[in-house]
Amino acid sequence: MYSRSSSCPRKRSPWVITVIALPALLWSLSAQADILPKLPKLPTLPTLPPLPKLPPLPHNLQIHGFASQSWLMSSGNNNFFGKSSSDSGSFDFRELGLNASMRPLTRLQFSAQMLSRTAGEGSPGNVRLDYGFMDYTYFSGESSQLGIRLGRMKTPLGFYNDTRDVPFTRPSILLPQSIYFDRTRKLALAADGVHLYGEYRSDLGDISFQGGVVRPLVLGDEAEAAVLGGQFPGHLTPDISYTGRVNYDLDGGRIRFAVSVSRLNISYVPGAGDVLQAGSVNFTPLIFSAQYNAERWSLTSEYALRRLQYNNFGAVPNMDFYGESYYFQGVYRFTPAWEGIVRYDVLLTDKDDPHGKKWAAARPSRSGLADTRFAKDITVGLRWNITPEFMLRAEYHHVNGTGWLSTLDNPVLGNLDQHWNLFSILGSYRF
């Protein structure tokens, strides 16, 4: 047998060494601490009052917005929404909008949108109230509802006037100019007043209506140039006017029909040294709309008959004539992200003088301006929905006539080309 020699020390495990050394180390640190000078005691900081809590946003408040930037290049007529010459084009077409809605009560809702639009002399980019109204639902059932709106509201004309501000809800960069004039946009877009609305849903389709008594928005150079053809010392004032639309939808919107009519009444107050007397203008558009929607394609057409009356202006003779407008539009959705559009659009200022020859012959000083009384536009476009929030568009127009060009952007009408082209690209973001 073997036994351990007393001369060979026993190996201790590391944790045993730690247990033995730890008290000695603590005693050493304590002794050194007694030698070091004492640090002064820091003063006690005063207790600050709690920050006030901000009130929470109403749970039903919704805020949305959009921003779009376009580039346009035109041939011949170089002032479309800015200096759109064929040399470099123009980036002077942009739209910015912020809207909010809140429903403090089940039947009561407030909605408003602020808009900044830069598009030539008529829209210099100033921020303004696009719409703002109170909506009270008087009755709401399983198949019907009835309500009232009070404030500044979009004029219910055609399929697109209500939502024409938001690029995502338009079928193209430019709406059909024969129906939705951009040169008279503010006049037809919205008005202050009161609207009644209602809806009835059944197996035979859905019928809805909206209409009321309003005062049109006539302030600004754009409205004066559109109504009077130029700038004068006086100003336009709104009179009591009327507007309404009836919609019929079948099979969840697969087939849609609408009839819209408005009666806009405007007076003119002469200024100092004015050549015009206190006259009045009555504008009565009647629009018939139809649309068919399939899984991949949609067909849309609208026809407008517009009565225009000028009375008691003195230097401007009394006039009473009918304008005519229509378009045919096809949209094809190649994929959920890509769609194309083709459209033929016709504007006739006077349907009894479709090419403006009678109008020019009666005005020798404007004998070469017959093409300002009509416009025929062929449009081809492409849309790419990159994400649900971001979209790109490209669009080409071939136009015969200058009937929908603004006189604010093109004051010298004799310099316009009857046949011209327009190419545009738009990028838009929404949230």
Give the pLDDT band of residue 153 (cuts 50, 70, 90).
very high
Other CB atoms closer than 10 Å to residue 234's CB: what's the count? 20
Taking residues 30-43, what's their average pLDDT? Answer: 50
- Please tell me the distance from the alpha carbon of residue 73 to that of residue 425, in angstroms, as a whole number: 9
Q: Give residue 11's pLDDT.
A: 43
Written as six digits, the tokens of 1 are: 């047998």
- Taking Cα atoms as reference points, which of 64, 297, 298 lies closest to residue 166? 64
| Mean pLDDT computed over 164-172 | 93
pLDDT at 253: 94
Confidence check: pLDDT of 361 > 90? no
Are 156 and 260 within 8 A, CB to CB?
A: yes
Residues 77, 78, 81, 82, Cα dihedral to 10°: -160
Higher pLDDT, 140 or 122: 140
Tell me, letter by letter, the H, E, C secondary structure of 204-270: CEEEEEEEEEEEECCCCHHHHHHHHCCCCCCEEEECCEEEEEEEEEECCCCEEEEEEEEEEEEEEEC
Residue 366's pLDDT is 67
Res 394: pLDDT: 98
CA distance 282 to 274: 21
Out of 78-92, 128-142, 188-202, 263-277, which region has the weakest mean confidence (pLDDT)? 78-92
Across the chain, mean pLDDT equals 86
The mean pLDDT value for 80-93 works out to 83
Determine the Cα–Cα distance for residues 59 and 79; give it in Å rounded to an integer. Answer: 47
Residue 316: the pLDDT is: 81
pLDDT at residue number 309: 95
Does residue 16 carry a pLDDT above 50?
no
Judged by average pLDDT, the poorest of 8-12, 36-40, 244-248 is 8-12
Position 230 scores a pLDDT of: 78
Q: Which tens digits make up the pLDDT trace of 288-306?
A: 999 999 999 999 999 999 9
Q: Please give the pLDDT value at position 15.
A: 39
- Please tell me the predicted confidence (pLDDT) of residue 5: 40
Do residues 282 and 273 make contact, with C-beta atoms less than 8 angstroms apart?
no
CA-to-CA distance for 368 and 359, rounded, in angstroms? 11
Task: Give Cα 374 distance to the centre of its chain.
Answer: 26
Task: Report which secondary-structure segment, H or E, holds 19.
Answer: helix 14-35
CA dihedral over 80, 85, 86, 89, signed as positive or negative: negative
Percent of the chain past pLDDT 90, that is, above it, reads: 64
Higher-scoring residue by pLDDT: 137, 36: 137
44 pLDDT band (50/70/90 cuts)?
low
Alpha-carbon span 143 to 200, nearest angstrom: 6
Q: What is the pLDDT, as a whole number, of residue 175?
A: 96
User: Which pLDDT band holds residue 36 (cuts at 50, 70, 90)?
Assistant: very low
Mean pLDDT calculated for residue range 63-70: 96
Q: Does position 10 have pLDDT exceeding 60, yes or no?
A: no
**Per-residue pLDDT averaged across 86-94, rounded?**
86
Residue 14 has pLDDT above 90, yes or no: no
Which amino acid would we find at residue 76?
G
Tokens of 52: 């006030």
Please give the Cα distance from 357 to 306 (Å, whole number).
Answer: 20
The tens digit of pLDDT for each residue in 188-231 reads 899 999 999 999 999 999 999 999 999 999 887 888 888 887 78
- What is the pLDDT at residue 296? 96
Which of the two residues, 125 and 50, has the higher pLDDT score?
125
Range with the poorest average pLDDT among 215-219, 386-390, 415-419: 415-419
Residue 268 has pLDDT above 60, yes or no: yes
